[in-house]
């Protein structure tokens, strides 16, 4: 089980029309896939998202030379060392080495993690609501309608990127047209203060279909989250950029949020990610993974969710939903696993149980150009 070869697949796609959230527009979507092969022929894939020139340089000049000749079974230690150099790259290596171990054992990844408890996991369709279109609200509502027609019953849309008045007009209109058909999460991407977040409460009281309010304020403002949670009638969610379970602790111990939202690509490898899930459950909190970028990292979030016991007896065997990137992004289909009528079905097989789409790898290969 000695690591013999590591290939990298930097992928880039220019969006046909920019779309965005409170942080600005996305003109490109990228993906960085790695494939690790051992001397005995076992293979595993890993994924991370960052600026491609940074990732390529880091892997070619430092990470690959370091990993060649190391034991694939030493995942914990290898991830720990690479994490000091680049956190997201370490997450990719962690995924690939996990798959290799499952392949060698002849087991599915969920078997390594104690076995899947759920054969299906609900998906919510996630949108970037802003665009340059003068009728951006209409366009945004049209996209959500399309997802509902495809069978999604949960959606997440953006607020915080326009004035409160404009954002509220958008959401009010969406609610007037779709409230009976969809449960809605609102994501402000940390752009509010307490006062701005509270200004939504009057509207919230008239709506019974809200899943959660996501990251209204910067996540380090734990005291303010705690205050806000006491006056809001909808659950508070957040934590997509947090690096490990320790980073979530202040939110958990101070009762500042209702739902944790770790991302497999931003945490201490896939094992660290699962540690955060355990923290949520042992603290009596819900956990709904953030999984907007990438295709493979979402599958790891999905498998971890399938192995997580339901939150409470009230929920029966129901599990919290996993995000599905509904926007134009060819890398959601890098591995062929798409929700059907708003539900993911966990595939069987060994390792990941899925193979990479070589067409996507070839079509979107980054040509080395600089992009912003």
Residue ranges in contact with Mg ion by CB under 5 A: 187, 214
- How far, in Å, are 111, 120, 234, 317, 360 from residue 351 at the CA level? 9, 18, 39, 25, 21
CA distance 251 to 271: 21
Residue 258 in contact with residue 237, Cβ under 8 Å? yes
Query: Quick one: DSSP state of residue 284?
Result: T
Residue 273 in contact with residue 267, Cβ under 8 Å? yes
State the residue number with the nearest CB to Mg ion: 187
Q: Which is nearer to Mg ion, 82 or 211 (CB)?
A: 211
10 by DSSP, 3-state: which? strand
CA distance 198 to 88: 34
Q: Which is nearer to Mg ion, 47 or 214 (CB)?
A: 214
Q: Which is nearer to Mg ion, 214 or 320 (CB)?
A: 214
CA distance 121 to 61: 39
Q: Which is nearer to Mg ion, 22 or 87 (CB)?
A: 22
Rounded to the nearest angstrom, the gap between the alpha carbon of residue 9 and the centroid of all alpha carbons in its chain is 20
Count CB-CB contacts under 10 A for residue 148: 17
Residue 157 Cβ, how far from Mg ion at the closest point, in Å? 11
Q: Which is nearer to Mg ion, 99 or 187 (CB)?
A: 187
Q: Per residue, what are the HEC states of 296-360?
A: HHHHHHHHHHHCCCCCCHHHCCCCCCEEEECCCCHHHHCECCCCECCEEECCCCCECCCCECHHH
Residue 40 Cβ, how far from Mg ion at the closest point, in Å? 41
Task: Tell me if residue 243 is catalytic.
Answer: no
Residue 278 Cβ, how far from Mg ion at the closest point, in Å? 22
Q: Which is nearer to Mg ion, 47 or 293 (CB)?
A: 293
Helix ranges restricted to H, the chain: 52-58, 64-67, 75-85, 87-105, 109-112, 136-149, 164-178, 194-198, 201-204, 222-231, 245-253, 269-282, 296-306, 358-363
Residue 296 in contact with residue 269, Cβ under 8 Å? no
Q: Exactly one of 83, 118, 156, 158 is catalytic; name it.
A: 158
Residue 334 Cβ, how far from Mg ion at the closest point, in Å? 21
Q: Exactly one of 290, 313, 318, 338 is catalytic; name it.
A: 290
DSSP bridge pairs for 13: 29
Task: Tell me if residue 172 is catalytic.
Answer: no
Q: Which is nearer to Mg ion, 187 or 325 (CB)?
A: 187
CA neighbor of 185 nearest in space, from 236, 135, 220: 236
Residue 238 Cβ, how far from Mg ion at the closest point, in Å? 7
Q: Which residue has the tokens 């959401």?
A: 171
HSE value, Cβ hemisphere, 13 Å, CA-based, for 305: 32
Task: List, by residue number, the catalytic residues.
Answer: 158, 290
């Amino acid at each position: 089980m000695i690591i013999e070869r590591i290939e990298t697949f930097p992928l880039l796609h220019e969006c046909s029309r920019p779309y965005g959230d409170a942080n600005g527009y996305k003109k490109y979507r990228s993906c960085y896939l790695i494939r690790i092969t051992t001397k005995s022929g076992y293979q595993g894939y890993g994924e991370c998202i960052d600026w491609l020139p940074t990732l390529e340089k880091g892997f070619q000049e430092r990470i690959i030379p370091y990993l060649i000749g190391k034991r694939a079974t030493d995942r914990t230690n290898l991830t720990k060392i690479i994490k000091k150099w680049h956190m997201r790259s370490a997450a990719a290596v962690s995924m690939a080495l996990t798959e290799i171990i499952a392949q060698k054992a002849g087991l599915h990844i969920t078997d390594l993690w104690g076995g899947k408890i759920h054969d299906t996991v609900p998906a919510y369709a996630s949108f970037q609501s802003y665009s340059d279109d003068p009728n951006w609200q209409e366009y945004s509502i049209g996209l959500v309608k399309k997802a509902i027609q495809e069978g999604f019953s949960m959606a997440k849309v953006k607020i915080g990127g326009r004035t409160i008045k404009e954002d509220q007009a958008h959401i009010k209109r969406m609610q007037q047209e779709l409230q009976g058909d969809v449960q809605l999460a609102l994501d402000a991407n940390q752009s509010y203060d307490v006062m701005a977040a509270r200004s939504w409460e009057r509207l919230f009281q008239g709506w019974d279909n809200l899943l959660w309010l996501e990251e209204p304020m910067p996540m380090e403002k734990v005291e303010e989250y705690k205050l806000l949670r006491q006056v809001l009638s909808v659950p508070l969610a957040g934590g997509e950029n947090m690096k490990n379970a320790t980073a979530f602790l202040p939110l958990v111990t101070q009762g500042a949020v209702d739902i944790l939202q770790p991302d497999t690509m931003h945490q201490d490898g896939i094992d660290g990610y699962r540690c955060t899930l355990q923290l949520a459950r042992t603290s009596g909190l819900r956990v709904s993974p953030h999984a907007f970028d990438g295709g493979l990292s979402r599958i790891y979030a999905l498998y971890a969710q399938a192995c997580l016991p339901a939150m409470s007896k009230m929920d029966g065997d129901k599990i919290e939903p996993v995000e599905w990137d509904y926007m134009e992004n060819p890398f959601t289909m890098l591995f062929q696993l798409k929700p059907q009528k708003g539900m993911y079905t966990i595939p069987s097989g060994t390792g990941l149980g899925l193979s990479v789409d070589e067409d996507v790898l070839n079509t979107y290969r980054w040509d080395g150009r600089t992009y912003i």
